[in-house]
Amino acid sequence: MSENSQSPLPRRLREARKAAKLTQEELGRKAGLEESVISSRISQYENGVHTPDFGMLKRFAEVLELPTAYFYCEEDDLAEKIKEFKAQQNDG
């Protein structure tokens, strides 16, 4: 089992990508990944095989219009509040 299997990051990344109606390829392209590695890299991140470094996660967050803290938050209800807070900031 992966060292990162307990991290909320893989699940949150997948959920956020799907909520944004983006394919793995679209997310990777918008975040600036090289075409040749997009599909496998995003899949590895979403399955917890590898963890994106902070800079890459920040690019994903920008594409998905979410704060980086959302991906690291262990508690689901708090993660939702973080997401709502960001949405309110964007609206205001």
Nearest-Å Rg of the Cα atoms of the chain is 13
Domains, the chain, in order of start with CATH, read 9-91 (1.10.260.40)
For residues 41 and 38, give the distance between their C-alpha atoms in angstroms, rounded to a whole number: 5
Which DSSP letter does residue 65 get? T
For residues 28 and 32, give the distance between their C-alpha atoms in angstroms, rounded to a whole number: 6
Which DSSP letter does residue 22 get? -
Instruction: Give the pTM.
Output: 0.87
For residues 26 and 16, give the distance between their C-alpha atoms in angstroms, rounded to a whole number: 13
Q: What is the pLDDT of residue 1?
A: 38
The label of the residue with tokens 């949150």 reads: 12
| Per-residue pLDDT tens digits of the chain, which is 92 residues long | 344 458 999 999 999 999 999 999 999 999 999 999 998 999 999 999 999 999 999 999 999 999 999 999 999 999 999 988 888 887 76
Q: What is the pLDDT of residue 47?
A: 95
